């Protein structure tokens, strides 16, 4: 694909440049090419289609698996995307051609007269210069061309609009033309009292890699006066400081940034590990390790490039002889396959557990208005029910489990699951709604009676929500109790009031949620078990285990990475 593109471009250019009637041809061709690009350069879409077809083929061949639920692996990175693909059966939509590309930009500087002529040709644009600058930024035109347009504008108007200056600055920053950036900076400083955020960010980005990098700190202060900092601004300043060997300043900036609740970009953290690599003093080493602890506290997972930097950094510590391995964990045991160390347990501490339990009652069940999810009478009935019964081993979301496959009556599916689980666990609880008790096609009275011999039941009102009760019942039963549902419980996590509780809840969920992964009525029933270890940056002094995102799978916020970096001191 890589060599294909320039070739088409080249053919097109030669063809176009031999034509006499330009603008119309250009426009028509730019549009057609961009379409072709969009089609051909989207390898993912291509692969996805094939994949889906393959899946269907294997299914048809297998035959048996026809009634199985769609593949469902709850929290693993990339699974939500897979599910979306499976459900819609669609390839990702192609990027449409950019509107910024409508004007063809010249590739050498033009004189004022020539610009005037060109402007006449594009009369239909309200502001020709605007469109032209946008197009230049989009195509990364050479700085000189943009400069010549500035000259033309300056000659005509005697002044240059702020927006043109900023767009020109964007171009200079892209080409890293530091002399020019500094000149613009001086002009802006002389002309305007203060700028807006985008110009500040561009200046910070441009100047941070130059010898004027100290100016970026001044600019950073100025941004604060009128707007908010972005993590990009801090990242650029840190880069400037590190490039100039001002490590302490860089760490200060980092702490300042964290204090402002900005989450540093992976690339910024990578800079620290890259620039502190010849680790000589302990002070510096501790600071870098503090960053790793920061990642742990905030459940941030490094990306692949950062992971490699961290690995290299550890291996470069003199005298400690660290060894790094890339690995992925076995889902059933806590042991790291590379070094044999036990990973951290996923269970919450007692204090945390009680905290989350209380928050669930307060935020998820009661919320702002008890009547929204349930009613006080029902809540009381539920609490009485839970207190009367000894702790459960498994709590089942009846309505969710029953809908696993549409081809089986709901009560039959639920019965199968209950019978299966009853062999393994002693005490089951099934949560459902009242309407399940009415004999109907989906809910057979006989099945329900059979089930009630094996498990306890609690039915909420038809208008109430059953999920909050589900969560509370599981928590009430204690740390050993498992939860069976295919629901990701994202909405319940979202209503929890603070970030820490949300994180703890997610940790608990990963460790205690069992998911029906495949089901064929009467034949197959398998569960995807909960993870035994916690996915978080962790250490015991002699080893570090760092989960990271690989570049291939796109992870969404409610998923966790599967790849690990295992570091071991020898």
Partner 1 sequence: MHLLNLIRRSAFKLIAPKMTKYGLFLTMPSKINTCGTLRMIYLNKSISKNADENIDLDEWKLVVLSGLQKEAFEKASPEEEPNIAAIKEYIDMSRRLGKAAPENITEEQLERLIEYPSVTSRNKYLAFLASKEMRKNAEKEKKKKQREEREELKKTMENEELVPKSRLFRAIWESSMDVMYNWKAAQAMSFGQPLVFDMDYNDMSEREMQNTVKQMMECEGANRKAVEPFHLYYCNFKEDGPYHKEFLKRYGDAWDNLFVTVTEKSYVELFPRDQIVYLTADSPNVMETFDHNKTYIIGSLVDKTIRKGVSLARAKRLKLATAQLPLERYFHWKTGAKVLTLDQMIMILIALKNTGNWKEALEFVPKRKHEGFVDPSLQQFINRQKNKRASEQNFKKKLLVDELSKKRLWNGLWEE
150 makes contact with partner 1 (CB under 8 A): yes
**Does residue 35 touch partner 1 according to CB under 8 A?**
no
Q: Are 292 and 534 in contact (CB under 8 A)?
A: no
Task: Give whichever of 139 and 328 is closer to partner 1, judged by the CB atom.
Answer: 139
State the DSSP string of 312-325: HHHHTSTTT-EEEE
197 binds partner 1 (CB under 8 A): yes
d(Cα 520, Cα 408) in Å, to the nearest integer?
9
Q: In angstroms, give the least distance from the CB of 476 to partner 1.
A: 24
371 binds partner 1 (CB under 8 A): yes
Under rule CB under 8 A, residue 107 binds partner 1: yes
Q: At what angle do helices 282-297 and 247-259 cross, to 10 degrees?
A: 20
- At its nearest, how many Å lie between partner 1 and the CB of residue 362? 17
Of 194-202, 233-241, 306-314, 547-555, the segment contacting partner 1 by CB under 8 A is: 194-202
3-class secondary-structure state, position 168: helix
Q: For the CB of residue 457, give the shortest distance to partner 1 in the complex, in Å.
A: 22
Q: Which of 48, 79, 80, 105 binds partner 1 (CB under 8 A)?
A: 105
Contact flag: residue 227 with partner 1 (CB under 8 A) = yes
Gyration radius of the chain over CA positions: 31
Give the one residue of 1, 93, 190, 259 binding partner 1; rule: CB under 8 A. Answer: 190
State the virtual CA torsion across 350, 356, 357, 361 in degrees, nearest 10: 160
Asked if residue 527 binds partner 1 (CB under 8 A), the reply is no
Residue 369 in the binding site for partner 1 (CB under 8 A): yes
For partner 1, which residue of 162, 353, 425, 527 counts as binding (CB under 8 A)? 162
Task: Let me know: does 553 contact 77? Beta carbons within 8 Å.
Answer: yes
Number of residues this chain uses to bind partner 1 (CB under 8 A): 68
- In the region spanning residues 169 to 188, those forming contacts with partner 1, defined by CB under 8 A, are 183, 187
CB of 102 to partner 1, least distance (A): 12
Question: What is the closest distance, in whole angstroms, from the C-beta atom of residue 543 to partner 1 in the complex?
Answer: 40
Write down the least CB distance from residue 334 to partner 1, Å: 40
CB 143 within 8 A of CB 171: yes
Q: Which of 349, 418, 428, 360 is nearest to 390 (CA)?
A: 428
Q: How far is CA 61 from CA 56, 83, 501, 517, in A?
A: 9, 22, 47, 20
β-sheet bridge partners, residue 292 = none
Nearest CA to 453 out of 418, 482, 403, 477 is that of 418
The length of the chain, given as a count of residues: 570
Burial class of residue 407 in the structure, from the number of CB atoms within 10 Å of its CB (0-12 exposed, 13-18 middle, 19+ buried): exposed
The yes or no reply on residue 160 touching partner 1 (CB under 8 A) is: yes
Instruction: Kindly state whether residue 108 participates in binding partner 1, applying the rule CB under 8 A.
Output: yes
From the list 47, 51, 64, 372, which residue makes contact with partner 1 (rule: CB under 8 A)? 372
The three-class DSSP label of residue 361 is: helix
Query: What CA–CA distance (Å, rounded) separates 418 from 438?
Result: 19
Nearest CB to partner 1, comparing residues 197 and 217: 197
What is the arrangement of strands in the sheet containing 543-548, beginning at the earlier edge strand? 322-328, 563-569, 543-548, 538-539
Tell whether residue 28 is a contact of partner 1 (CB under 8 A): no
Sole window of 20-28, 84-92, 248-256, 321-329 interacting with partner 1 (rule: CB under 8 A): 20-28
Q: Which is nearer to partner 1, 222 or 334 (by Cβ)?
A: 222
Give 385's strand partners: none
Which parts of this chain interact with partner 1 (CB under 8 A)?
Answer: 10, 13-14, 16-18, 20, 22-23, 26, 29-30, 104-111, 113-115, 117-118, 121, 130, 139, 144, 147-148, 150-151, 153-155, 158-163, 166, 183, 187, 190-199, 225-228, 230, 369-373, 375, 462-463
């Amino acid at each position: 694909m890589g060599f294909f593109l320039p070739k088409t471009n080249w053919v097109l250019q030669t063809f176009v440049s031999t034509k006499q009637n330009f603008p119309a041809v250009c426009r028509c061709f730019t549009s057609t090419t961009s379409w072709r690009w969009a089609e051909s350069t989207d390898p993912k879409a291509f692969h996805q289609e094939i994949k889906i077809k393959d899946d269907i083929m294997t299914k048809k061949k297998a035959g048996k698996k026809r009634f199985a639920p769609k593949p469902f692996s709850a929290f693993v990175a990339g699974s939500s995307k897979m599910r979306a693909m499976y459900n819609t059966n669609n390839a990702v939509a192609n990027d449409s051609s950019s509107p910024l590309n409508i004007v063809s930009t010249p590739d050498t500087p033009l004189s004022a007269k020539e610009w005037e002529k060109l402007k006449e040709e594009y009369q239909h644009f309200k502001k020709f210069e605007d469109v032209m600058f946008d197009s230049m930024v989009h195509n990364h035109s050479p700085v000189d061309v943009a400069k010549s347009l500035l000259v033309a504008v300056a000659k005509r108007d005697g002044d240059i609009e702020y927006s043109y200056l900023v767009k020109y600055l964007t171009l200079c920053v892209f080409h890293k033309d530091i002399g020019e950036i500094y000149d613009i900076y001086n002009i802006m400083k002389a002309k305007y009292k203060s700028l807006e955020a985008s110009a500040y960010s561009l200046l910070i980005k441009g100047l941070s890699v130059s010898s004027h990098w100290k100016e970026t700190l001044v600019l950073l202060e100025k941004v604060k006066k009128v707007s908010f900092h972005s993590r990009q601004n801090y990242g650029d300043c840190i880069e400037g400081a590190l490039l100039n060997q001002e490590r302490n300043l860089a760490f200060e900036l980092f702490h300042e940034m964290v204090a402002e609740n900005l989450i540093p970009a992976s690339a910024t953290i990578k800079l620290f590990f890259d620039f502190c690599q010849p680790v000589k003093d302990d002070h510096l080493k501790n600071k870098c390790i503090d960053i790793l602890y920061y990642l742990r506290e905030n459940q941030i997972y490094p990306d692949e490039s950062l992971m490699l930097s961290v690995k290299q950094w550890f291996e470069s510590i003199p005298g400690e002889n660290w060894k790094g391995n890339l690995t992925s964990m076995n889902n059933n045991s806590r042991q790291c396959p590379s070094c044999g160390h036990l990973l951290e347990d996923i269970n919450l501490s007692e204090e945390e557990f009680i905290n989350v339990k209380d928050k669930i009652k307060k935020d998820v069940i009661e919320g702002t208005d008890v009547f929204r999810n349930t009613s006080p009478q029902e809540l009381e009935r539920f609490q009485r029910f839970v207190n009367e019964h000894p702790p459960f081993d498994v709590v089942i979301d009846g309505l969710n489990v029953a809908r696993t496959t549409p081809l089986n009556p709901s009560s039959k599916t639920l019965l199968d699951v209950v019978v299966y689980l009853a062999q393994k666990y002693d005490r089951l609880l099934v949560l459902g709604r009242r309407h399940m008790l009415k004999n109907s096609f989906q809910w057979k009275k006989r099945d329900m009676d059979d089930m009630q011999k094996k498990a306890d039941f609690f039915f909420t009102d038809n208008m109430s929500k059953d999920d909050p009760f589900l969560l509370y019942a599981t928590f009430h039963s204690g740390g050993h109790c498992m939860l069976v549902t295919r629901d990701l419980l994202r909405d319940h996590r979202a209503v929890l009031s603070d970030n820490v509780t949300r994180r703890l809840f997610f940790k608990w969920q990963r460790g205690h949620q069992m998911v029906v992964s495949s089901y064929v009525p009467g034949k197959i029933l398998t569960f995807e078990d909960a993870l035994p270890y916690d996915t978080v940056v962790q250490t015991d002094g002699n080893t570090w285990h760092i989960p990271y995102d690989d570049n291939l799978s796109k992870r969404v916020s409610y998923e966790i990475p599967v790849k690990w970096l295992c570091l071991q001191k020898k």
